[in-house]
Structure formats: C-alpha cells, structure tokens
Amino acid sequence: MSNLTISQRRRLSIIIRWIIALILMLFAIFPVLWILSSSLNPSNTLASASLIPKNVGLGNYTQLFTTQETPFLRWIWNSIKISSITTVLSVSVTTLAAFAFSRLRFKGRETMLKGILLIQVFPGLLAIIAMFTLVTQIGNIIPAFGLDTHAGLILVYLGGAMGVNIWLMKGFFDTIPRAIDESAMVDGATHWQIFTQLLLPLMRPILVVIAILTFIGTYGDFILARILLKSTDQYPLMVGLFIFTSGQFSQNWGPFAAGALMGALPIMIIYLVLQDQIVGGLTQGAVKG
C-alpha cells in the first residue's frame, strides 16, 4: 500500500466502496426478490429452491382479489384510512402542544414535559392489557370508540405517538430564534398569528418527517390492531394478511407474499413523492439539533 500513488489509492478506495455498496444492496434487495418469487410461485410455499420458480403465474394475485373471505382491497383501505387520520390528528395536536411547551410559560410546564418523557420510558407492550381494558370501558359509554372500531384504535395510536413527537417537535421549535416572535409581537401579532404565519412554515421539514414516520408506524402495526379489532371487515392490512398464514393445515404463503408486495406500494409511493422533503427534514434536523 505504501508504494501506491495517490491516484491509485483513490481508485482503490472507490473500488472498495463500490464493492461494499453492492454487497449492502444485495443484502437489502434479496428478501424483496424472494417475496416476489414466492408471489409468482404456484406451489404456495416460501421454501423455493431458486429465486426463479418453474411455473411462473399470477394465480396468487388472482386469488388475493377474488376470495370473498379475504377482502384484500378493504384491508388496504382500512390501513390507509386509519394511518391517514392518525397522522393528521397526531401532527396537529403534537404541533400545538410543542408550540405551547416551547414558546409559552405556564405553571407545571417542566413537570408535564418530564412526565411525558417518563411515560415513554416504559415499553408499550406492558400497557396492552391496560389499553384493552380502557378501550372496553370507553366502548361501554361511547360505543363508537370501543372495541372493534377504528376510532378506538386511532385513539390508542394517538396516545402512543404524541409523547416522542412532542419532544422532537419542541426541540425543533427551540432552534428557531425567539427574536422572530418578539418582532411580530411588537407589530401587534397574536400567538396564533405567530404560530400559523411565521413558525409553521419554518417547521415544514420536521412536520413531513414526523407525518411519514407516524403513517408508516401505524400502517405496519399488527399487535394493537389484532387485539382491538375483531371483525374481518375491520382489519387493517397487516392483520388481514395474517389470515393467510394462521391456518393449522392450510397456510397460503403465495397469496400472503402477493399481498405483502401489494401492501408495500402505498409506502413506496409516499417515499418517491416526498423523498426530497424527507431528506431535507432529516438533514435540517441533524444540523439544528
């Protein structure tokens, strides 16, 4: 190595980087290719001898959309609806709460912030029984927010997502100079005008990042949805796909693989459309943090 020239070292460094990048790409793409192969394999199994099945066909996709006992399109719609409503409500409430904690001074402010942080320390799985009991009791009073309802599931998602998001959003608010607020107040602006017209446009990168993380987290959730929802028509996608693999003697891995690929399309579309916003939000947050 000591006998190599500077240009040779650079060339060798580039080659090594490309080799490492290709290995990482293959490592990441291989599971996707395997699932794609399984979705096109009519033998209804994941244990295929090769990535290219002998009899390639779309039978698994046809079964996915034609079986009445498994309303696939309904499951996708349920997932998109639940995730979208949760994302909008979570971002809205989180932004207002973070603004209040960052810009306003009121009694109990620090205690509430520490309480939110302390609650997030405990694993969410420990609270499943408590959440199930709470949703059951709420359903006895307000049936629309009880068990086997999307509204009840959304309430649980909101309670779990806002804690961390409030701290993230507050940290971003704290990086914005207070001179902006003071200058606006001198001109007679209210707190609401400062929030909506001055601070909110500056928060767009972190709002997009939190919205995407919230959407993906609720879209891919299985445990809470499986516990709180009982009807097949109410299932989101992840719980619905479980039906294909839950049989004791009939496990339809082919339709399951096809459904997993189809279900990943909304997330892929979101990333492709908002990739610039995601990168901008993460880089600005890293610089400001």
**CATH number of domain containing 267:** 1.10.3720.10
pLDDT score recorded for residue 113:
82
For residue 1, being part of any structural domain is answered with: no
Q: pLDDT by residue (tens digit) across 62-88?
A: 888 887 778 888 999 999 999 999 999
Amino acid at 164: V
Which residue range forms the structural domain that includes residue 24? 6-57
pLDDT score recorded for residue 247:
66
Average pLDDT, the chain: 83
Q: What is the mean pLDDT of residues 121-138?
A: 84
**Same structural domain, 50 and 112:** no
For residue 220, being part of any structural domain is answered with: yes
Q: pLDDT by residue (tens digit) across 92-110?
A: 989 988 888 888 888 888 8
Between 53 and 190, where is the model more confident?
190
- Helix, strand or coil, per DSSP, at residue 99: helix
Binning pLDDT at 50, 70 and 90, where does residue 289 land?
Answer: very low
For residue 22, being part of any structural domain is answered with: yes
What dihedral do alpha carbons 177, 182, 185, 190 form, nearest 10°?
Answer: 40
**Same structural domain, 11 and 92:** no
Q: What share of the chain is helix, strand, coil (3-state, %, to 5)?
A: 80, 0, 20
The C-alpha atoms of residue 113 and residue 169 are separated, in whole angstroms, by: 12
Least confident of 45-59, 73-87, 173-187: 45-59
pLDDT score recorded for residue 250:
67
For residue 274, being part of any structural domain is answered with: yes
For residue 43, being part of any structural domain is answered with: yes
Last residue within a domain, chosen from 57, 81, 99:
57
Tally of structural domains, the chain: 2
pLDDT score recorded for residue 287:
43
pLDDT score recorded for residue 280:
61
Least confident of 138-152, 197-211, 217-231: 197-211
